[in-house]
Amino acid sequence: MEADVKESAGESKNVLLMGKGMLITSENQIRRLQEVGLKDVTIDTSKGKDVAGGTVVDAPAAIKMAPVVKPPAGRKAFFKDEIKVARKIRGASVQVVKEFMNNAATGRSIDVKKVNLAAKTLTASVFRNVDALLSLTALKNYSEFTYTHSVNVCILTLAIAHASGVTEQEAEVIGVGGLLHDIGKARIPLAILDKPGPLTPEERKIIMDHPLYSEEMLREMGNVPEAAIAIAVQHHEKVNGTGYPYGLTGDQMHPFGSMAAVADIYDALTSARPYKVGLPPHVALRRVFDGRGTEFDTKVVDVFIKNLGIYPVGGFVRLNTGELGIVLESNPVDSRKPKVGIIFSRFGKRRDTPYVVDLYEASGADARTITEAEDPKRYGVNIEDYIQA
Ligand SMILES: [Fe+2]
């Protein structure tokens, strides 16, 4: 039973017996209420247990009408709350990766505790509201590609695992493997890693050794779980055996390795590099889908596409009104109706600040809907200017 007894009992003696919202849980509390002359209490059965006897009266309209506001299905926190934390978590994680990559390149030791803590924090955020960190994977840092890519692969793999029913405790291993998966690149000369042009067969061979270096370095660290090592060594494997470094087939791969392979290719495709432009999310998703069952695990691809939504955050879309905008927040209930920040009016006039519309909330004949995904570069739009780090 829950009560606010100041008005009824405390008023006469000007003493607050029980604060608003306090639970009545003991006989002693009831005796005290009786001692001050309280004869009746009203139990709000939506908040506390009913007791035997008494008269049942209808709850006041205000109580009956009060909407129960809960985060959407599968989310423990609201996007608007989680995104504030997620930005900090992502920023700190990029710094952790930067530090261990620099240490690895200069022969210094890796602080595994820091990596574990970052992995745990990222995992917890994904399990509170996956959409928050997921939306930040649309942010790419051109000059610090390896660091942001490692964090993005970590988040995307965690998102797939979360949607596949992996528990939070199991998923922390993915956090570790995701952050460390490209650590072997610390042994590849930068002249090859950042070469602004096509690689020679020899250079390609050198790059293709990085998962083997990652595996070796993780084993040297000691106490790194096998599932995390599997992510590091298998993220370039393909289920048809055409990947590297071992040419494993789908049934030889660790489930987390298969998830990381999809996460890795999606982030690589959507990122700009010295030798290529980044693809818009819908084009990258199409490429991933085309490799379903041949290059990538069928179930993983299905979960990934379902989770990212038809219109992933960071995508550029045309609305039925002729307006153009950026997908700012996905909608886990209906992926066709995300929040969109409108940048171009129906007359092609560009706005300085996006006008945010929630396609899910709007309804009726004149409601805005997405008609197609567009390439922002055609309109001179840099998506990252609109998604704040
Ligand atoms: Fe890699």
Residues pairing with 208 in the sheet: none
Say what the pTM is.
0.78
Kindly give the distance from the C-alpha atom of residue 128 to the centroid of ligand 1, in angstroms, as a whole number: 28
Between the CA of 315 and the centroid of ligand 1 the distance, in Å, is: 24
Task: Work out the pLDDT band at 1, boundaries 50, 70, 90.
Answer: very low
For the CA atoms of 226, 228, 230, 232, the dihedral, rounded to the nearest 10 degrees, stands at -140
Mean pLDDT, residues 21-35: 62
Give the SS3 label for residue 338.
coil
Residues 251 and 31: their CA atoms lie apart, in Å, by: 68
Within a 13 Å sphere around the CA of 87, how many CA atoms are in the beta-carbon half?
8
* Ligand 1 midpoint to CA 180 (Å): 10
DSSP 201-224: HHHHHHHTTHHHHHHHHHHHH-S-
Q: How far is the CA of 383 from the centre of ligand 1 (A)?
A: 25
- Cα of 109 from ligand 1 centre, angstroms: 21
| Whether domain 79-308 has CATH 1.10.3210.10 | yes
Instruction: Give me the pLDDT at residue 334, please.
Output: 82
Cis omega (within 30 of 0) on the bond before 245? yes
Q: How far is the CA of 165 from the centre of ligand 1 (A)?
A: 25
**Which residue is listed with tokens 């993780």?**
218
pLDDT in tens, 279-302: 988 899 999 999 999 999 999 999
Say how many Å lie between the CA of residue 154 and the centre of ligand 1. Answer: 12
258 closest CA partner among 285, 232, 245, 239: 239
Asked if residues 326 and 315 have their Cβ atoms less than 8 Å apart, the reply is yes
Mean pLDDT of the chain: 86
- Phi and psi, residue 68, nearest 5°: -90, 110
**Strands of the chain, DSSP E:** 2-3, 22-23, 316-319, 324-329, 339-344, 350-358, 370-374
Mean pLDDT of 258-275: 94
Tokens, residue 8 = 């009824």
Most confident of 38-42, 278-282, 320-324: 320-324
Mind listing the pLDDT tens digit for each residue in 216-248?
Answer: 999 999 889 999 999 999 999 999 999 999 999
309 in the Ramachandran plot: left (φ > 0), alpha (ψ -120 to 50) or beta?
left
Q: How far is the CA of 125 from the centre of ligand 1 (A)?
A: 24
CATH 1.10.3210.10 intervals, the chain: 79-308
Give 9's pLDDT tier (boundaries 50, 70, 90): very low
Q: Quick count: other Cβ atoms within 10 Å of Cβ 326?
A: 24
Instruction: Tell how far the Cα of 193 is from the centroid of ligand 1, in angstroms.
Output: 11
Distance (Å) from CA 306 to ligand 1 centroid: 24
CA of 250 to the centre of ligand 1 (A): 18
What value does the mean pLDDT take over residues 172-198?
94
169 Cα–ligand 1 center, Å: 25
Compute the distance from residue 213 Cα to the ligand 1 centre, in Å: 11
Write down the H helix ranges in 137-167: 145-163
State the distance from the centre of ligand 1 to the C-alpha of 385, rounded, in angstroms.
27
Query: 164 pLDDT exceeds 80?
Result: yes
Measure the CA–CA gap between 359 and 365, rounded to whole angstroms.
13
What letter would DSSP give residue 289? H
pLDDT of residue 15 exceeding 50:
no
